[in-house]
Amino acid sequence: MMESYTILSLLLCLGVASAYSNFDVRLVGTGSNEWMGRVEVFYNGEWGTVCDDYWGLEDAKVVCRQLGYTGGASGFTIGAEFGQGSEKIFLDDVRCDGTENRITNCTYLLNTVGGTNCRHSEDSGVKCQGPRSTDEVVPAVVVPDVVVRDGDVRLAGAGSSANQGRVEVYDNGQWGTVCNDLWDIRNALVVCRQLGFRGATSSRDQFGQGTGPILLDNVECGGDETSIMECRKNPIRSHNCYHHEDAGVICSDAILVRLVGPGSSANQGRVEVYANGRWGTVCHDLWDIQNANVVCRQLGFPRATAATSGARFGQGTGPILLDNVECEGDETSIMECRKNAIESHNCYHREDAGVICQDDKKRQLEDVEFYLKKEEQMAAAPVSDGKTDDDLKTKDILQALSDLLAELKDK
């Protein structure tokens, strides 16, 4: 009899486990019902909560849409309004623009070990509205397990942006700050290169105080390390500092991007970006000419003539770093565009994106060759014995263009 119960229990567990996919969502908690409650996400067989850092109405709209509510969201909650969860806190720093179909299409931090700088008193919630249609629930998309790794860095704090901010390091499920003892431009240079910038212009500590643990102190980099964790430093969490000593950086030059692959050249190829100390590819989901324009301008070209997909320039072998990139077209770096969190994707290398940029030198050559053809046509045409001033001016112009073409071809 006991054996029958054991088998039945196992079957029930298997049935429950198979009913959910990674990053499905549900609404639970005190005072919750089918249309409002604490947001929980399913990941690797467990339900967990979402921290309310950056949580807002746009994020709530996405959760409600994922649940099938056609009216979107009427509100969002923070501070565990629907009670505190007791499970892991899986997601933090969720930032949606409100148009995504699933929370996985937003940017976020995935805490695979359940550790964050949040407490359950910060659990987030939503209030949905409108009829619910199960037909509109979007199928699950599984993303890689690792989105944030120990030793990754980010820039945060008051006045921070893509290239400047308070330096924070990720370790054992938590983001923490770096003390400014011994902090100098060489340390800043390593952090900036780890983030994909070419250099650093400042090692200032002007971006406000952090609230998490102080993870690093007495950092001494030589300047050529690929990660701050390779530099000399105290053991992690060993310090004599306060948060008013949190270190920061200002990085210089655009985030690194390159064009590579079979058939690539200076102005065309598979797009690869540099982040977290590694080169990686870009998935072609949502890839279009606006994205290509941003990449080409970042490389110094005026614009793109084509955005390629399907690994036209061969398949990469490193990580796939970016997915669902959506540029407006006026950004100065691809990293300023809307996109998934770094390494959050559902792609394969056969979906690597590429670009073909307009080559100014090539365009100049084409323009000059056009005028030279005109010169040949004029030379072949019958002419009268009389030469006007206009005839002579035209000849001088065409001779100058011929000289320019020869000069360009020599370069």
* All structural domains of the chain: 14-136 (3.10.250.10), 153-252 (3.10.250.10), 257-357 (3.10.250.10), 364-410 (no CATH)
Q: What percent of the chain has pLDDT above 90?
A: 31
- Return the HEC string of the chain: CHHHHHHHHHHHHHHHHHCCCCCCEEEEEEEEECCEEEEEEEECCEEEEEECCCCCHHHHHHHHHHCCECCCEEEEECCCCCCCCCCCEEEEEEECCCCCCCHHHCEEEECCCCCCCCCHHHECEEEECCCECHHHCCCCCCCCCCCCCCCCEEEEEEEEECCEEEEEEEECCEEEEEECCCCCHHHHHHHHHHCCCCEEEECCCCCCCCCCCEEECCCECCCCCCCHHHCECCCCCCCCCCHHHECEEEEECCCCEEEEEEEEECCEEEEEEEECCEEEEEECCCCCHHHHHHHHHHCCCCCEEEEECCCCCCCCCCCEEECCCECCCCCCCHHHCECCCCCCCCCCHHHECEEEECCHHHHHHHHHHHHHHHHHHHHHCCCCCCCCHHHHHHHHHHHHHHHHHHHHHHC
pLDDT exceeds 50 at position 6: no
Contact 308, 264 (CB under 8 A): no
- pLDDT tens digits for 253-262? 655 788 888 8
Position 5 scores a pLDDT of 38
How high is the pLDDT of residue 159? Answer: 79
- pLDDT at site 136: 40
Confidence band of 331 (pLDDT split at 50, 70, 90):
confident
- Cα dihedral 261, 262, 266, 267 sign: negative
31-57: pLDDT as tens digits: 888 889 999 998 777 888 999 988 988
Summarize pLDDT for 119-171 with one digit per residue, the tens. Answer: 889 999 999 987 776 544 433 333 333 346 778 888 888 878 778 889 999 88
DSSP β-ladder status, 125-128 and 36-43: antiparallel
pLDDT (tens digit, 9 = 90+) per residue, 389-400? Answer: 445 445 555 565
